Chains A and B, each alone.
Chain A
Amino acid sequence: MRIGVFVCHCGSNIAATVDSAAVAAAARDFDEVVFSTDTMYTCSEPGQTGIIEAIKTHALDGVVVAACSPRMHEPTFRRAVERAGVNRYMVEMANIREHVSWIGKDKEANTNKATELVRMAVEKLRLNRPLFPKTFKATRRVLVIGGGVAGIQTALDCAEAGLEVVMVERESTIGGKMAKLDKTFPTVDCSSCILGPKMVDVAQHPNITLYASAEVEAVSGFVGNFEVTIRKKVTCVDWEKCTGCGLCTEKCPSKKAYNRFDEGVGPTTAINIPFPQAIPKKAVIDKEFCRYFTTGKCGVCAKICPTGAINYEQQEELAQEKVGAIVAATGYDLFDWRAYGEYGAGRYPDVISSLQYERMLSASGPTGGHIKRPSDGKEPKTVVFIQCVGSRDASIGRPYCSGFCCMYTAKQAILTKDHIPDSQSYVFYMDIRAPGKAYDEFTRRAMEEYGAQYVRGRVALIYPKGDKLVVRGTDTLMSSQVEVEADLVVLAAGAEAARNASGLAEKLHISYDTYGFFVEGHPKLRPVETNTAGVFLAGACQGPKDIPSSVAQGSAAAAKVLGLLSKDVLESDPQIAQVTLQRCIGCGKCIRVCPFQAIRETDFRGQRKAEVIEAVCQGCGLCNATCPQGAIQLSHFTDNQVLAEVEALCRC
């Protein structure tokens, strides 16, 4: 083999603490290395041209690039060597940036380590073999998980472009958090007026199949050919027959059911349609409150329903869908602010969350758009807003900023003045974070035109005194204690990962961070991709986001899906496991460890053998490490290649 080595400076990223030229010089002595050089930016256009020219000049058939992480630029260099006529799997990268220059200051030690990593890469490359991807047909359909505004945007964009879309929503209606909002910042336009038409479009689009009250049960397969099992939850109403007339909700005698849509502000009936614009507009029975289930006697809804849609014996159903790509758009949930003992931990009825307040402001909400204290129904005159409840607070494990609370609090302060002109709002804040277009102007309006008193400081305690709530905080600008006697306290609860987000991530084989938010492919350059091919992200499931950003991501994810499925055939990754039949003893250990069910048992001339299903294998290598005979080998990461690397290290 004729190997060329290219040691990158990465500007000063590597060169500041690694002597790249010395590494290149040392590499000239390695076996089968016929060319070695150092370059300023190997990934740049002249850098790549240098590789191509060296391949031609020196008849290279393998290349080692010592630079950044392969997660950053391996695809770049694979494309480069391919342009010079070398198989793309004849490239190895030595990560001398993230693993060396960025983590150590001692130049001599760093240079030695970089040299050792290059030697390992050379030894592995010597055993590399050209690999050729196979092609397969892709299913031109997409699954969108979550029917909030981000998922709706993705679904509509994909459907408009001609893809078939399957949308799964776990609530009985789509719309997500945005459907619960009264107005949106910074324009104060009606949330349901701008979202409603999009929800209707989802319902009516011929390319969109909607599963509401359903969850993704299991996902198998791979990019282009996912098999999705969808669990349809029990609603006790046959949605084929239900027309959404609402007669059942009028007659239901159980009128104290917990109202999930209204965040518990005001009750609902045991059989209910969450809100007038619900999509699909279908009734659902809440078994916890339904008299038929709690007392065994009732059945009023079944008697009244004109289409006979009520079915108390309904069972869960599973549906199967084949898709080529998946977009997770599962949004967020509100932080449970009861973690704060000093805010009453839920003991005081007039301390409410921002989303509960939003339902009160909404004309179609439980109070008909009138702000009323939950305790006595009186109109509050003094309203205190507390920001950063469950945000930027390491003591409760939420050190991150939720990003949108400053803006919605300003909006709620403005709306409070609109609803109750003789009211006074106070906003306790840490910093005002309003970096969007027309955002900062909006918060200024809340202060200057609507007279909201902004107090920079945290609230230490809320306690009831008579029918008021004493809110005690600090004003860090005035260095003084502040006490406000409030009628109502609204907590700007922060965002946290949606309930059971981590469970879904595991089903999709995507990563999630400490807080349960899904991890994007690259924080800057691959914001809606994941590290699992064919799975994309949109909206707040990746991190807290406001509506404009969620919609932008929804469209971005749609663009990525459309790009992927614009080809009729996709290439499969050839870095998969392969069985050497002579060595396989048919013990079946590989079958048991495979997390993708990619290995099956076959009969070879009367003997039990393992067989890899090439299209399903993800190349994780578990089987390779497990096989007692070394019979199953992961292409590109064979035992011999790993051992060659170890041996290279031992020789250093």
Chain B
Amino acid sequence: MASSPLAYYPGCSGLGTSMEYDRSTRAVCEALGIPLKDIPDWSCCGSTPAHTVDHALSTALSARNLIQAETIGLSDIATPCPSCLKNLKTAMARWQDPKIGPAAEKLLGKSLQERHRVRSVLQVLYEELGPEALAAKVSRPLAGLKVVPYYGCLMTRPKDLMDFDDEEYPVSMDRLLEAAGAEVLPFPLKVECCGASMGIPLNKAVTRLSGKILELAASLGADAVAVACPLCQMNLDLRQGQVEKANHAIYKLPVFYYTQLLGLALGLPERDLGLSKLNVNPEPALALIRQSRPKPAAETAATTEDAA
């Protein structure tokens, strides 16, 4: 594992609605020996509102964070949030656009120096650590937990920009969760839209779209959904009651961040993973995991050897 730290961009939701994503990401990375260094004085990436109003503004807001990373001498940047990821990557591309780059530079009064590499934490875990190395570090396999992986629409798309995994049928999270010992079900709607921020202006868009995802997950016999996006998690978890009401259905499906599940598999204390922040009661799913016995030390050693 590369020991040089990654510049870490938590994103605004990491301080609020997805506090448990940020917390579990930090805990998992620490346990796996991936040093993260917060970008000093980072600011909002502009999120959806900025780029719907002004591309130069959106580019400037995101690029500022990349420039901040330069101040601590890091150009390898990781963020857990796919929306922040898309904005940071888009900003780098738009910086080269003669119509947008100079305008953004004028707004900031600074220019982007380095050729940054921006990745999701999922991509970092998958590419730099990999499922085999992860499996070697698992002490409490998630055996008995049937989980559907849900990537959301942004993690792999648009293909040319995100440049990660199969854009229509990604498997990186599947492989990591399998390595953690979970039973990962093939999930055809893994890159479907959950309704995103339409929950506020047009709630039925979310209840319909998230409804499809939850309904299929339930019909496949899943015990839980694993996600990688704060907004997806909010729609599927916090709004699950609304979705159930609109669709006259009961799902009771806990929606974990995949980092929370990896943390459990690595034997991290539940309090470090922010499980209490989940809306749908995760206890039934957690009970399934607790039933599974810790891996005997000998087996762990053997796996490590195999991986080596």
Complex Cα distance A342/B191, Å? 10
Q: Which residue of A341, A347, A461, A466 contacts B186 across the interface (Cβ within 8 Å)?
A: A347
Q: A344 in the interface, Cβ–Cβ < 8 Å?
A: yes
Query: Does A75 lie at the interface of the complex (its beta carbon under 8 Å from any beta carbon of B)?
Result: no
**Measured between alpha carbons, how far is A335 from B25 in the docked complex, in Å?**
42
| Most chain A beta carbons < 10 A, residue from B169, B188, B189, B219 | B188
Q: How far is the CA of A341 from the CA of B189 in the complex (A)?
A: 12
Kindly supply a per-residue 1/0 record for chain B positions 174-203, scoring 1 wherever the CB is within 8 Å of any chain A CB and 0 otherwise. 000000000000101100100000000000
B168 at the interface (CB under 8 A from A): yes
- The answer to whether A465 and B219 have CB atoms under 8 Å apart is yes
Interface assignment of A463: CB less than 8 Å from any CB of chain B:
yes
Give Cα A345 to B168, complex, Å.
10
Q: Is B167 an interface residue (CB 8 A)?
A: yes
Main secondary structure of the interface of B (DSSP, over half): loop
For the complex, is A464 an interface residue (Cβ under 8 Å from B)? yes
Q: Hey, which chain A residues are within 8 Å of B189, CB to CB?
A: 463
Are B168 and A342 closer than 8 Å at their CB atoms?
Answer: yes
The answer to whether A463 touches B188, judged by C-beta atoms less than 8 angstroms apart, is yes
| B216 sits at the interface (CB 8 A) | yes
From the candidates A341, A347, A462, name the one contacting B166 in the complex (CB within 8 A). A341
CB pair B219 A341 closer than 8 Å: no
A342 proximity list for chain B (CB < 8 A): 168-169
Beta-carbon contact of B219 and A344 below 8 Å: no
Q: Cβ of A463 and Cβ of B167 under 8 Å apart? A: no
- How far apart are the CA atoms of A344 and B190 in the complex, in Å? 12
Interface residues of A in 329-351 (CB under 8 A from B): 340-342, 344-345, 347
Contacts of B166 in A (CB 8 A): 341
8 Å CB contacts to A: which residues of B192-227?
192, 216, 219
| A386, chain B: closest CB distance, angstroms | 15
Q: Which of B216-246 contact A (CB under 8 A)?
A: 216, 219
Q: Whole-angstrom distance from the CB of A153 to the nearest CB of chain B? A: 42
B-contact bits for A613-626, CB 8 A (1 contact / 0 none):
00000000000000
A462 contact set on B, CB distance < 8 A: 188
Main secondary structure of the interface of A (DSSP, over half): mixed
The A-B contact count (CB < 8 A) is 20
What mask results when residues 526 to 540 of chain A are scored 1 for a CB within 8 Å of chain B, else 0?
000000000000000
B169:A463 contact, CB within 8 angstroms: no
Of the residues A341, A464, A465, A466, contact of B169 by C-beta under 8 Å: A341
Asked whether A341 lies within 8 Å of B216 as measured between CB atoms, the reply is no
B93 to chain A, nearest CB (A): 19
Expressed in whole angstroms, the minimum distance between the Cβ of A232 and any Cβ of chain B is 42
Q: Are A341 and B167 also in contact (CB < 8 A) when A463-B216, A465-B219 are?
A: yes
CB pair A466–B219 under 8 Å, yes or no, is yes
Q: Which of A461, A462, A463 has the most CB of B within 10 A?
A: A463
A463 / chain B contacts, CB cutoff of 8 Å:
188-189, 216
Bound complex: CA of A284 vs CA of B41, how far in Å?
A: 73
A340 to chain B: closest CB distance in Å? Answer: 8
Expressed in whole angstroms, the Cα–Cα distance for A465 and B192 within the complex equals 15
State whether A341 touches B168 (Cβ < 8 A).
Answer: yes
The chain B residue sitting closest to A347, CB to CB, is B186
CA distance A342 to B169 in the complex (A): 7
* Cα(A650)–Cα(B61), bound, Å: 57
Task: Collect the chain A residues with CB atoms within 8 Å of residue B186's CB.
Answer: 347
- In whole Å, how far is B261's beta carbon from the nearest beta carbon of chain A? 23
A461 vs B192: C-alpha distance when bound (angstroms): 9
Within 8 A of B (CB), among A300-348: 340-342, 344-345, 347
Q: Which residues on B sit within 8 Å (CB–CB) of A465?
A: 216, 219
List of A residues within 8 angstroms of B192 by Cβ: 461
A130 to B192, CA, bound (A): 73
**How many Å lie between the Cα of A610 and that of B280 in the bound state?**
87
Q: CA separation between A464 and B189, bound complex, in Å?
A: 10
Residues of chain A contacted by B167 (CB below 8 angstroms): 341
B140-175 interface bits toward A, Cβ cutoff 8 Å, 1 = contact, 0 = none: 000000000000000000000000001111000000
Q: Which residues of A, 29-85, contact B by the 8 Å Cβ criterion?
A: none
Contact of B188 among A340, A464, A466 (CB under 8 A): A464
* A/B interface sample: 20 pairs, CB < 8 A: A340-B168, A341-B166, A341-B167, A341-B168, A341-B169, A342-B168, A342-B169, A344-B188, A345-B169, A347-B186, A461-B188, A461-B192, A462-B188, A463-B188, A463-B189, A463-B216, A464-B188, A465-B216, A465-B219, A466-B219
The 4 closest A-B pairs by CB, nearest first: A463-B188, A341-B168, A341-B169, A342-B168
- Seed contacts A344-B188, A345-B169, A462-B188; 5 additional CB < 8 Å A-B pairs: A340-B168, A341-B166, A461-B188, A463-B189, A465-B216
